Amino acid sequence: MVGITPAEKKALITRNLQETLGDDKLTKILGERDLKIYWGTATTGKPHVAYFVPMSKIADFLKAGCEVTILFADLHAYLDNMKAPWSLLELRTQYYEQVIKAMLSSIGVPLEKLKFVKGSDYQLSKEYTLDVYKLSSVVTQHDAKKAGAEVVKQVEYPLLSGLLYPGLQALDEEYLKVDAQFGGVDQRKIFTFSEKYLPQLGYEKRIHFMNPMVPGLAGGKMSSSEEDSKIDLLDSPANVKKKLKKAFCEPGNIADNGLLSFVKHVLFSLFKEGEGFEVNREAEHGGDVTFLKYEELEKYYAEDKLHPGDLKATVEKYINRLLDPIRKAFEKPELQKLSAAAYPPPAKVKAGAAPAAGADEDAPHRLDIRVGKVVEVARHPDADTLYVLKIDLAEAQPRTIISGLVKFVTQEELDQRLVAVLCNLKPSKMRGILSEGMVLCTSNADHTEVEPIVLPASAAPGGRLAFEGFSGTPDEQLNPKKKVWEKLSADFKTNSDGLAVWKDNFLLTPEGEKLSSKLANCSIK
């Protein structure tokens, strides 16, 4: 923008942000030159319409004369609990680049003013790797875990990769040679981590800009892993209508309204001078009305003057305008092929067959969980905390299974009890005795309470337990090198009612009955 003052640049850069760390430094730099800033995105789940929130801020940065770098953080995607399998990293990075460029073009951002960088292009260099080691020598485990708490997937036994994640994101600021990093407010702990530790390596502390988190369509954060909470960038107009129809939009509620948040943070930031949010409705319902300021719309809705149906219909119109150019771009056969390859549908895995690339994720049908009946209980001769169980699974003979329940359940309570058994783990010796499976139990966080999952009395030994919505064939044996159980168990727990679920999908008997535990909101192992 010609003739824009440093104060006007600052207003553009910071509008609609929830927080800025380093305001004085921002003022000083803008008084001397244009700001260098980067936004990074881990190439995991498919980008959805909420990505228009950072895209619209990037448009603001460019209007303010900033030099903007977009980082496709492919290594971060792998480090975050392997959300993107190694075999799909390159394909997903290509998909992200294509779809984000299409998004930016959709809102009129000139791509030639942007710099696009892939993390692995520099994060595998000798210099960067040495800095990772230097950082690991000064960062405590506590600080690394705390920094990633809002971003890295949290599991009971975190992988070392998740602890490395915040450090790499901090080092990116130095290696991309920027003044500032931009992200969601969920990144705040990583940003303060960076401010604390970069100077310890002799690097300058950076400025940090934080967007608010936009509620999803069902309320709460919009997430790639929750289908009904988000609209995919390639969703058809019919799908957009269907999802918006189901969206949470309580009359007069402006506090947790994903539609209003989208209007505020995306549409109003993109409207040109004199353009507003135009609602079309029948005369008997108030007639057409246009809002030139978001505050006017919010007040109007809070006063129950705008029906949720009219808000949904108007947002649908504007979302389709944004998505039309992206849909058109992805009509090209090569981009359709890329989309299918980067995000293959979960494949059914035949017994003994290797899963397709990417099938490790979100596939609990791969677990062979069956009803078992304990027919014999004995103490392990060489381990005080272990039982040696004989469990009837309706096979030719009972299986021997070792279980660490001595401190939590008596022999009398276990004898003749129905239990849920994970049957396709690789057999392994435990203190000299081969264990051929695992009794599934709930455990509280500090492991002071542990109990086997409770099965309905009507369950019959050998019956296969399945997760609601997943009907594939279990693996003959889970490959321990692929850590299939470790990844799937991260989302296997009891809900607030004490019912066994995997990502809110109930674990059911063949008769459709649910399994339970007295321990609510606890992990199942």
Q: How many CA atoms lie within 13 A of 414 on its CB side?
A: 29
Range 6-211 classified under CATH 3.40.50.620: yes
- Strand-strand pairing, 500-502 and 505-508: antiparallel
What are the helix (H) ranges across 176-307? 188-197, 237-246, 258-262, 268-270, 294-302
Q: What is the dihedral of CA 518, 425, 433, 398, to 10 degrees?
A: 70
**Backbone Cα Rg of the chain:** 27
Residue 19's alpha-carbon distances to 96, 190, 211, 427, in angstroms, are: 27, 14, 7, 52
Alpha carbon distance 190, 15 (integer Å)? 22
Q: How many CA atoms lie within 13 A of 46 on its CB side?
A: 18
Alpha carbon distance 174, 49 (integer Å)? 30
Determine the CATH number of domain 237-342: 1.10.240.10
Helix or strand (DSSP H, E) at 7? helix 6-14
Is there a contact between 465 and 369 (Cβ–Cβ < 8 Å)? Answer: yes
390 φ/ψ sector (left φ>0, alpha ψ -120 to 50, else beta):
beta
Alpha carbon distance 232, 239 (integer Å)? 9
Q: Both tokens of residue 380?
A: 């392990």
Please give the pLDDT value at position 157. 62
- What is the DSSP code (8-state) at residue 464? E
Rounded average pLDDT per 10-residue block, the chain, 525 residues: 84 94 97 96 87 92 94 84 69 92 91 90 96 95 88 68 89 97 94 96 97 70 52 89 87 88 89 92 91 95 94 95 93 90 64 43 82 95 93 92 94 95 93 94 90 91 86 83 87 91 88 89 91
Q: How far is CA 278 from the centre of its chain?
A: 33
The three-state secondary structure class of 489 is helix
Count the residues in the chain: 525
364-524, superfamily in CATH?
Nucleic acid-binding proteins (2.40.50.140)
Is there a contact between 374 and 423 (Cβ–Cβ < 8 Å)? Answer: no
Instruction: State phi, psi for 62 to the nearest 5 degrees.
Output: -65, -40
Residue carrying the six token digits 């909420």: 50
Alpha carbon distance 265, 274 (integer Å)? 17
The three-state secondary structure class of 116 is strand
Please give the pLDDT value at position 349. 43
Query: Among 417, 408, 364, which Cα is nearest to 389's?
Result: 417
- The domain spans of the chain are 6-211, 237-342, 364-524
**Secondary structure of the chain: what % helix, strand, coil (to 5)?**
40, 20, 40
Q: How far is CA 206 from the centre of its chain?
A: 26
Please give the pLDDT value at position 446. 83
Alpha carbon distance 386, 396 (integer Å)? 25
Helix or strand (DSSP H, E) at 131? helix 126-136
- What is the DSSP code (8-state) at residue 228? G
The three-state secondary structure class of 393 is coil
Is there a contact between 402 and 380 (Cβ–Cβ < 8 Å)? Answer: yes
